[in-house]
Copies of this chain bind each other. A is one copy, B any other.
Amino acid sequence: MSENKVLPKTLPGFMELLPNEQLLFNEIKEKIQKTYEKFGFLPLDTPIIESAEVLLAKAGGETEKQIYRFNKGESDLALRFDLTVPLAKYVTENYNELCFPFRRYQIGKVYRGEKAQRGRYREFYQCDIDIIGENELSLLNDAELPSVIYNVFKELGFGEFTICINNRKILNGLFDALGLKDNSVDILRIIDKIDKIGKEEVVKEIGELGVFSDKINTIMNFIGITGNVSETIKSLRDLNITNELFETGVNELEEVSKNIKLFGVPEQNYKIDLTIARGLDYYTGTVYETFLNEYRSLGSVCSGGRYDNLAEYYTDRKLPGVGVSIGLTRLFFQLNDKKIIEAGNRSISKALIISMVDDLSKSIEVATELRNSGINCQVYTDQGKIKKQFNYANRNNIPYVIVIGEDEIANNVVSLKNMESGEQVTISLEEAINILK
């Protein structure tokens, strides 16, 4: 290579796929989109660049450190780091044009300058749905979202999965009742590690925060609760925690859990999990996490929850909402890495048309007929030996080759070769179209 060339390198933390992988990625993205649309969520496509003031109205901590922020002329700009802040902006800005409850989906790229490491992306797709109410929003919406998640993951076919549900009011009420509000962040972080470090270590670490052992006992009893929905709700009430927030949380969780069934989610696909919290600032009621049963180690593949106020940093209007999000880029990486999905020999064209004669008229005619029948195809348009042309079909995973030669033209037929089996038949174009369909 000449010395004055620039090395063409994609940045670390940015996913760029080979064509067959891209086809698989697009298939998954489209299944998510179509399912969101089936449930009547409206599409949005907000800008990737926003004013930094707007994007960071509420942010802080990690978000602020990770954000891509820069000046252009006199403007202080930033790249969106999620799709929720842009939604808050959108709903406030277009309030008078929208009808509530406003149901929208957005599938788009977001940006976070995280430390680069395997499987962590700085540019990644989020696939979000949210339902935004005006002043209030029925708990039925909290029960409907799991049915959207259920339909998405059933459609995606990554195996059995479980939607875990909790209510933030229960956790907040519990800590409130125990006088542990100030420690709640730390305690939740410790509880979160229970799968890794075990029960005893959790007790020890919470103790190190200066929490008395009777309170630790209550916490451990709380997170130890198991059983089906009715059993769990009963156990929660049996804890005899007299705190309004806690009681409201238990009532909400009971109502939502019962209605989830109503929305057609089979019982084996959802359960109450009292340990999930989804961060502390944002969610105020129902929270969701979703796990692939056979690949629990992937972490939650679809999460979200209920919030009291979507846009309090922009407006005094009360806009409660509930939503969930799929982090598609990371999920795709993980599934691909674990070979749960495989790009394999995907191809965009169903057939390659090879002409044995110089005049391409017949080949192009055949291609047009195929396309009119909804079959993606291409005519080989570069000079080259027949072998090279078949090789092109092979390397591009194109499953069928149609050969047009003098005999085919004379007899008004086509030769159709199945590239996998090697079988070749000479048939009418109509028959070929039926096979290709």
Binding site for B on A (CB under 8 A): 1-2, 5-11, 14-19, 22-23, 25-26, 37-51, 53-54, 57, 68-73, 75, 77, 88-90, 92-94, 97-99, 101, 103-104, 109, 111, 113, 122-123, 131, 133, 136-138, 140-141, 144, 147, 151, 259, 262-264, 311, 313-316, 348-349, 352, 360-361, 364-365, 368, 371, 376-379, 381-383, 392, 395-396, 398
Contact = CB atoms under 8 A, between A and B. Distances in A.
Contact of A44 (B14, B22, B73): B22
B49 A14 contact: yes
A111 B49 contact: yes
Contacts of A133: 382
A361 to B, nearest CB: 6
B37 A376 contact: yes
A9 B263 contact: no
A316 B131 CA distance: 53
A379 B395 CA distance: 48
Given A6-B53, A48-B123, A68-B72, A99 B395 contact: yes
A381 B101 contact: yes
A106 B221 CA distance: 55
A5 B312 CA distance: 8
A279 B2 CA distance: 27
Contact of A364 (B51, B88, B263, B396): B263
A200 to B, nearest CB: 41
A275 B431 CA distance: 47
A68 B68 contact: no
A6 B54 contact: yes
8 contacts: A11-B75, A19-B98, A22-B44, A37-B348, A40-B349, A48-B48, A101-B381, A141-B382
